[in-house]
């Protein structure tokens, strides 16, 4: 009888301890699950942002290359009439000459909004390259090849 009482007392003591351990294990599992879910959300968010950043750098590279080939005096595409193609949004070489620097500036502003590091890279990129005169923007044609290469490196390194 005495052993029975001791066993009952022991069970009455052990069961709440096991329940407490199970509750702690459950709380820990919920905590870890939330951490994993947050990591997955952050990864998805960063992937989407990185994709948009890559898209913007690609767009800037495309615009700069069109400018280099079509608008720059003596460019390789000097004799190509891009405005006759469905591949360009500019009506003429003169329009492209005036709009591409503005378009490029706007793309860079969008790109710089994603992080302080990108903002610094964009500011370094455009310093002395995109020149503002009143309402107009111009590109320093002597730096185009260097800037095209910089954009290509950014794309290759995924920013």
**Alpha-carbon gap, residue 125 to 129, rounded angstroms:** 7
Q: Pick the more confident residue, 30 or 139.
A: 139
Q: How is 47-90 classified by DSSP, letter by letter?
A: HHHHHHHHHHHHHHHHHHHHIIIIISTT-TTTT--GGGSTT-S-
User: Which pLDDT belongs to residue 84?
Assistant: 66
Q: Are 139 and 108 in contact (CB under 8 A)?
A: no
Which residues, 6 or more positions from 92, have their beta carbon under 8 angstroms from its beta carbon? 83
Q: Scanning the structure block, which residue is given the tokens 């952050």?
A: 42
Per-residue pLDDT tens over the stretch 69-92: 888 877 666 666 665 676 678 888
Q: Scanning the structure block, which residue is given the tokens 């997955």?
A: 40
Beta bridge partners of 132: 137
Res 32 pLDDT > 60: yes
User: Which pLDDT belongs to residue 113?
Assistant: 92
């Amino acid at each position: 009888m005495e052993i029975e009482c001791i066993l009952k007392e022991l069970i009455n003591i052990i069961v709440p301890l096991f329940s407490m351990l199970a509750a702690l294990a459950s709380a820990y599992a919920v905590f870890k699950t939330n951490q994993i879910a947050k990591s997955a959300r952050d990864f998805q968010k960063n992937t989407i942002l990185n994709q948009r950043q890559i898209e913007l750098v690609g767009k800037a590279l495309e615009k700069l290359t069109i400018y280099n080939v079509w608008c720059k005096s003596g460019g390789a595409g000097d004799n190509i009439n891009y405005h006759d193609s469905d591949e360009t949004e500019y009506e003429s070489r003169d329009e492209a000459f005036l709009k591409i620097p503005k378009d490029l500036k706007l793309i860079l502003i969008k790109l710089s909004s994603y992080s302080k590091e990108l903002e610094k890279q964009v500011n370094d990129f455009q310093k002395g390259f995109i020149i503002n005169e009143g309402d107009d923007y111009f590109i320093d044609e002597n730096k185009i090849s260097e800037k095209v290469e910089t954009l290509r490196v950014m794309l290759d390194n995924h920013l």
